[in-house]
Amino acid sequence: MEFPVKCEVDGLYCRWLASLVLVLGVIFMGGCSSDVKTVRESPPPEPTVNKAMQELAIQHFIEGSLWEQKGELAQAVLEYQEALRYDKDPATYYVLSRVYSGLNKHVAAVEAGREAVQMVPDNVEYRKNLAIVYLTAMQPDSALRQYEEVVRLDSSSVESWFNLARLYQVRSPFKALEILESITNRFGPEWDVLLQTADLSNKLNRFDHAASALEKMVEIDPANQELRRTLGQTYMRAGQNDSALAIFSALHDENPGNLEFLADVGAVHLALKNYPQAESEFGSLLSNDTVNVDAKLRIGEAYFGQIEKDSTIAPQAQMVFERIREQIPQDWRPYWFLGAIGSITHNDSLSARSFRRVTELASWNADAWVYLSSVFLSKNNFSEVAHVLESALKVLPDDFRVNFLLGVAYNRLGKNVEAVSVLEHAHSINPKDVDAISQLALVYDGLKHFNESDSLYEEALRLDPSNHLVLNNYSYSLAERNEQLDRALDMVKKALEAQPKNASYLDTMGWVYFRMERYDEAASYVKRALAEGEANATVYEHLGDIYFKMNDKKAALEQWNIALHLDSENRQLREKVLRGSL
C-alpha cells in the first residue's frame, strides 16, 4: 500500500511527515491482517548511523514543536538544539530562529535565521523570517536587504513589496513612494497601500501624488465624506483649487447644515481670490452665535494664510479677527493674529498693542513676549526691549529666547554686568547655541575679561568653524589687544569671504592691518567700510588713527571730528581731538 506525501516545507519536517505516514501505514496494515497467520521473516538490516541520527532528529523536532505549541519556548529551544545535534536541517534552524526571537534572544535568532538562508538561499519563507528577526533586533537595513531578495525571488507578494516600501520610508522616502506607486500599478488599488502613499506623499509635499492616491481610495469608498473632504484639502495644497471647489460644493449640497463644509467652500473662494464670494460664505458663519470659536478662528486663519499670497487682503483679515475679538475679548488668540498682521503690514502700533494684550491674557506664551520685544528691537529701542523682557523673565525665567534677547538689550545699553547673568543662564539652557556663546563672549570682551571671552570664542568656533560673525568678533578682539595678529588676519579674511560687503568686517580687516603697521592696506579697507554707508563713529575714528600714523594729521582730525559728532559722549575721543594726536 502506498501513501503519497506532498511536502509543503523543505527539510526535516517533510521527512518527519513521511515517516509518520509510513508508521501509520504499517499500523493500518497490521490491523487489517489480524486473521492472517504470521509468517516469520528474516530481520531487516540494521539501520545506518545516518538513518538513526535522522530519526532522533525527527523525534526532537516533534518534541520541540509540541513544546512550542504549549508556549514553552525555552523547552522548545532545547529540543530543537538537540535535533540539530543529529541533523543540521534548514527547517530546524528556521523554527529555532523564530523561537529565539520570541524569547528576545535576538543575536541567536539572527544566527539561526542566517543558517537557514545560507543553506537554502532561494527559500522565500526563510528570508521573510530573517527579515522579521532583523526588525525585532532593530537592524532595519539588514531586514531591507532580505525583503529585496524576497521580492526578487517572488515578485507576486504584495505584502513583501509593502514591507520593503515601509523600510525604505526612513532611509529613502522617495524610493519608498516609488515602490508604493508601483505596487498599485502592478496589483491594483489596495486600501493600506493607497493610505500609506497619500500619507508619505503629503509629508514629501508631493500633493499631486497624494491626491491621486486619495482619488483611488474614494473610488473604493465613495460614501466616505471625511475621505472626500481630505481629498478636497489635498487638492488645495496641490494648487488644484477648482477640483477642491467641486468636492466641497458637492459635500455642502449633500449636507447643507454642515457648517464645516460651508467653511471649506469659502476657503477655496479665498484661495481663488473670489473675495466677495468668500466674504459671503464666511459672513454668515462669523455672525452665527451657534458656530464655535475654533471654527471662526479657522476662518481667520484662512484669511491670514492668504496674506502671504496677496498682501492686499491684510485689511480684510484684520477685520475678521477684530470681529472675532469682539465676540471673545478674553481669548488671547485673536490678539495674537492681530499682532502678527501688524508685524506683516509694519503697523507697529497694532502689533505692540495686540502682543501686549496676549502677554496679559496668556503670560505663559513666550512667543508673545519675544514678538512684543521685537517690535522695539527693530527700532533699536533697547530700553523698551529690556523693560518688556524683564517682565517676561519673572514669568518665564528659564526661557532661552527671553534670557538671550534680554542679554543683547543689556549689552546695547552698556549694562554688561547684568548681561552676563542672563546670557550665562541662556548658555546653560542651550549650551550649543552659537549665537548665545558669541554674545556672551562679546560681553566678557567688553568687560575686558579676556580669558572668558577667548574661551567662549574658541568654543563657538569648535561648534561652527565657519561662523563669520564669531570669526570677525574674535579677530577684532585680538586686534584691539595687539595679539595673534596673523591668526586675526586669517579669521577676518574668512569672515569677508562669507560677507564681502559687510562694513563691520571691512573695518576689522583695516584695523588688523593697522595693528600690523600696514597702513596703506588699513586705509583701503576702512574707506571701503565707509563706502558701504553703514559706518558708525568707531569706523571714522579708525580712519583718523590710520591717517595720523600716515603723518596726515589734518585728515586725521577731520575724521576724529566726524566721529565725535556721531558719538558726542565719547570722552576718550574728545580728548584725542583736543590733543590732536593719538
Chain segment 8-20, per-residue pLDDT in tens: 344 444 443 333 3
Q: Is the pLDDT of residue 495 over 80?
A: yes
User: What percent of the chain lies above the pLDDT cut of 70?
Assistant: 92
Residue by residue, DSSP assigns 334-395 as HHHHHHHHHHHTT-HHHHHHHHHHHHHH-TT-HHHHHHHHHHHHTTT-HHHHHHHHHHHHHH
Q: Rounded distance, CA 451 to CA 462, Å?
A: 17
**Where does the chain hold its CATH 1.25.40.10 domain(s)?**
1-29+51-154, 536-582
Look at residue 121 in the predicted model and tell me its pLDDT.
Answer: 95
pLDDT tens digit string along 73-100?
Answer: 999 999 999 999 999 999 999 999 999 9
Look at residue 37 in the predicted model and tell me its pLDDT.
Answer: 33
* Nearest residue to 343 (alpha-carbon basis) of 383, 370, 382, 380: 370
Look at residue 170 in the predicted model and tell me its pLDDT.
Answer: 86
Q: What is the DSSP letter of 137?
A: T
pTM attached to this predicted model: 0.67
pLDDT tens digit string along 96-150?
Answer: 999 999 999 999 999 999 999 999 999 999 999 999 999 999 999 999 999 999 9
Q: Is 72 exposed, middle or buried (0-12, 13-18, 19+ CB in 10 A)?
A: middle
Cell of 273: 481670490
Cell of 509: 580687516
Look at residue 539 in the predicted model and tell me its pLDDT.
Answer: 96
Q: Rounded distance, CA 288 to CA 40, Å?
A: 103
Q: Is the pLDDT of residue 28 over 70?
A: no
Contact 407, 426 (CB under 8 A): yes
Q: Rounded distance, CA 369 to CA 394, Å?
A: 12
Total number of residues shown for the chain? 582
Average pLDDT of the segment spanning 520-528: 97
Look at residue 284 in the predicted model and tell me its pLDDT.
Answer: 80
Angle between helices 191-203 and 207-220 (to 10 degrees): 160
* Nearest residue to 400 (alpha-carbon basis) of 431, 374, 440, 361: 431
Assign domain 1-29+51-154 to its CATH architecture.
Alpha Horseshoe (1.25)
Does 9 or 489 have the greater pLDDT score? 489
The superfamily in CATH containing domain 536-582 is Tetratricopeptide repeat domain (1.25.40.10)
Average pLDDT of the segment spanning 44-51: 56
Angle between helices 259-271 and 225-237 (to 10 degrees): 20
Q: Rounded distance, CA 45 to CA 65, Å?
A: 31
Q: What is the DSSP letter of 300?
A: H
* Cα→Cα distances 484→151, 438, 461, 514, 532, Å: 63, 19, 16, 14, 28
- Identify the band that residue 43 occupies on the pLDDT scale cut at 50, 70 and 90: low
| Distant-in-sequence, close-in-space partners of 537: CB < 8 Å, separation ≥ 6 | 562, 563, 564, 566, 567, 570, 573
pLDDT tens digit string along 278-292?
Answer: 988 888 888 888 888
Average pLDDT of the segment spanning 368-377: 96
Contact 85, 63 (CB under 8 A): no
- Identify the band that residue 21 occupies on the pLDDT scale cut at 50, 70 and 90: very low
* Nearest residue to 371 (alpha-carbon basis) of 332, 315, 425: 332
Look at residue 71 in the predicted model and tell me its pLDDT.
Answer: 92
| Distant-in-sequence, close-in-space partners of 474: CB < 8 Å, separation ≥ 6 | 441, 454, 457, 461, 488, 491
Look at residue 292 in the predicted model and tell me its pLDDT.
Answer: 85
Coil/strand/helix, residue 6? coil
Q: Rounded distance, CA 108 to CA 77, Å?
A: 11
pLDDT tens digit string along 196-210?
Answer: 999 999 999 999 999
